[in-house]
Amino acid sequence: MKFLVCISNVPDTTTKIAFTPDNKEFNKAGVQFVINPWDEYALTRAIELKEAAGSGTVTVLNVGQADTEPNIRKALAIGADDAIRVDAVPQDAYFVAEQIAAIAKEGAYDVILMGKESIDYNGFQVHGMVGEMLGIPTIAPAQKLDMAGNTATLEREIEGGKEIVQVNTPFVASCQQPMCEPRIPNMRGIMTARTKPLKVVPAVGEPARTTVAEFALPPKKQGVKLIDAENAGELIHLLRSEAKVI
Amino acid sequence: MSVLVVVECAEGEVKKSSLEVATYGAKVAAMLGTTATAVAVGEAKAENLAKLGEQGITKVLYDAEPRLKDFVNNAYTKLIATAAGQEGAKVIILANSNIGAAVGSRLSVRLKASLATNVVELPKIDGSNFMVRRGAFSGKAFAEVSLGGDCKIIAVKKNSLEAQHDAGKTAEVVAFVAQLTDADFADAPQQVVMQDQAGGILLPEADRVVSGGRGMKGPENWHLIEDLAKALHAATACSKPVSDVDWRPHHEHVGQTGITVSPNLYIACGISGAIQHLAGVNSSKVIVVINKDPEAPFFKAADYGIVGDVFDVLPKLTAAVKALG
Ligand SMILES: Cc1cc2nc3c(=O)[nH]c(=O)nc-3n(C[C@H](O)[C@H](O)[C@H](O)COP(=O)(O)OP(=O)(O)OC[C@H]3O[C@@H](n4cnc5c(N)ncnc54)[C@H](O)[C@@H]3O)c2cc1C
């Protein structure tokens, strides 16, 4: 089984979001970048399934510039076998999906996994686009993934419940908890990651279809209005008469 | 060239988020000087579809194929693409749900359309310039995105605008046959399992949410959360550590790595307000925080707060709601 795991490079979850003075770009100054937390589920699950089968390979793929390589090495340290970096700025979901689809096709991968969305762009788009480009099913968001031979059984989260879906390879799934417990690299992994292959390839396909014209921060809250605990019922009256939400 | 709106139905009813989507679509149609047609997915009932006239929809396409009751990505994509072709739709509006966004991404490739998900406002249209505002950085920012190309798909985040209700207006419900074949249902679910929802209110659809954190001390105390939720017709939610230790099911976990909610009212009980939790709730209209620690970071993101013990405060709130009648 050949697994392709797509990872994106995102600001750490505790990052205070700020933009360049013209509001056109995210301000990277002093920000630590991590593997997108949702992608960690995809990566760990692929490694677990490969180990359980006793054969197969896990390739990580990132669309990004050279500054993403520390996180690609981290994915190799966690247990991926090799890596591919498409050397380009990930302009939009469509552009990224084109890169993934091209590599998935060329490498004839059986299972293409990624996180349900990136925590910076929050698109929830790439997996569906890749599936459509390749003409194969996408299961998104998947909270459980098991494999028996070429058949996968997945749990897909829907509003208010879940679906049990069975598909044959090849397929795309976007992952979320509680699929597995994401692994962290150990010392041996970090040592071996240094010599694992990381191939850099140029981008292909058409340009992006969407462009970000500007970023904005949400308006600041007015400040909290405190109600005395002794008089807690007053809150309910304020929610009705002032905030008008009940 | 009409605007095509995808409305999701369950148990015969149009979902509340889809009423918002229908309103959004009708408003976009008015901006473009055209009409809005809806296409129904899920378990629909014709008489409820006709009521979409209240949201400004003129026509509803309804394919009575029974297998469309459950979400099947390929079949839904083909149904909507066929409807878009028939209507000559250049703008397609969906809910930013696990169904809408999943279908939207497939459709965008099939129809060579540009796509924006998580959209929070009506577009700004100026000639060929089409801009939408979408949530980004897990609720910590917005991005103004320009949508290129001939065809545009927009997935609208819940609670971004209020559903319009023009009483008495009806839409024409038209039978529609998308000629779906067995192959289109190849990725149909084997089984669909719905959760027991507190009071029948789905968390992603809820207008009001009462949420508990580690400060609730244990699952045996959750009746305090449930009682208030019931009185308020609210859904219940929790912080990540609470679902990690199985005090509550995973589908109630909100935040950066859980689900994102944007209700009118979010009441946080014994939750500290870590940045990853806030990411999932900070687009709520009104946030109430109950915490015994006056320094809890959540108070900075709150509109109303009570510094106090949840075990003392929650019963008082429930009693006050009941007293409202
Ligand atoms: C990558 C990553 C992703 C994460 N994603 C999420 C996520 O999606 N959602 C999420 O929630 N968390 C997430 N977290 C965890 C987050 O950082 C916090 O640890 C978590 O939100 C804390 O949960 P809590 O507020 O319930 O518990 P605590 O932080 O322990 O807070 C409990 C609060 O209860 C108060 N309290 C205690 N007793 C009482 C009482 N009797 N009356 C009133 N108040 C009381 C305390 O003062 C305290 O403020 C994530 C963390 C990481 C690293």
DSSP symbols for B190-250: SEEEE---GGG--GGG-SEEEEE-GGG-SGGGTHHHHHHHHHHT-EEEE-HHHHHTTSS-G
The stretch B172-181 carries a mean pLDDT of: 95
Q: Which atom of ligand 1 sits closest to the CA of residue B296? A: 49
Q: What is the mean pLDDT of chain B?
A: 94
Q: Which atom of ligand 1 approaches the CA of B311 most closely?
A: 41
Contact (Cβ atoms closer than 8 angstroms) between residue B285 and residue B261: no
Residues B265-309: pLDDT tens digits? 999 999 999 999 999 999 999 999 999 999 999 999 999 999 999
Q: Distance (Å, rounded) from C-alpha A103 to C-alpha B62?
A: 39
Per-residue model confidence (pLDDT) at position A176? 94
pLDDT greater than 90 at residue B14: yes
What is the set of domains in chain B, with CATH numbers? 3-185 (3.40.50.620), 198-324 (3.40.50.1220)
B71, B195, B324 ranked by CB distance to A163: nearest: B71
Q: Which of A28, A37, A30 is nearest to A8 (CA)?
A: A37
Optimal mutation site among A130, A206, A231, A246, interface B, most CBs of chain B within 10 A: A246
- Order of strands across the sheet that contains B265-269: A225-226, B304-307, B286-291, B265-269, B208-212, B235-238
Express each pLDDT in B189-245 by its tens digit: 888 888 766 567 888 889 999 999 999 999 999 999 999 999 999 999 999 999 999
The pLDDT value recorded for residue A20 is 95
**Which residue ranges have their beta carbon within 6 Å of ligand 1?**
A 13, 37; B 213-215, 239-242, 255-258, 270-272, 274, 276-277, 280, 291-293, 296, 309-311
A-B contacts (CB, under 8 Å):
257
Digit-coded pLDDT (tens) for B108-157:
999 999 999 999 999 999 988 999 999 999 888 999 999 999 999 999 99
Token reading at B120 = 């929070």
The residues, any chain, with a CB within 8 Å of residue A219's CB and separated by 6 or more, are none
Q: Is the dihedral of CA A7, A11, A14, A18 positive or negative?
A: negative
Beta carbons of B102 and A128 less than 8 Å apart = yes
The answer to whether A219 faces chain B, any CB pair under 8 Å, is no
H or E element: which one contains B48? helix B46-50
Q: Does A169 touch chain B (CB under 8 A)?
A: no
Beta strands in A159-216 (DSSP E): 161-168, 171-175, 198-201, 210-216
Protein residue closest via CA to atom 8 of ligand 1 = B255
ipTM of the complex: 0.94
- Looking at residue A221, its pLDDT comes to 83
- Residue B294's pLDDT is 97
pLDDT of residue A139: 95
- Supply φ then ψ for residue A170, to 5 degrees: -85, 150
Q: Which of residues 62-101 of A touch B (CB under 8 A)?
A: 93-94, 97
Q: What pLDDT is recorded for position B198? A: 55
Per-residue pLDDT of chain A (246 residues; tens, 9 = 90+): 999 999 999 999 999 999 999 999 999 999 999 999 999 999 999 999 999 999 999 999 999 999 999 999 999 999 999 999 999 999 999 999 999 999 999 999 999 999 999 999 899 999 999 999 999 999 999 999 999 999 999 999 988 889 999 999 999 999 998 899 999 999 999 999 999 999 999 999 999 999 999 999 988 888 999 999 999 999 999 999 999 999
Does the structural domain A2-216 have CATH classification 2.170.150.20? no
What is the model's pLDDT at position B195? 76
- The residue in chain B having the minimum alpha-carbon distance to the alpha carbon of residue A221 is B301
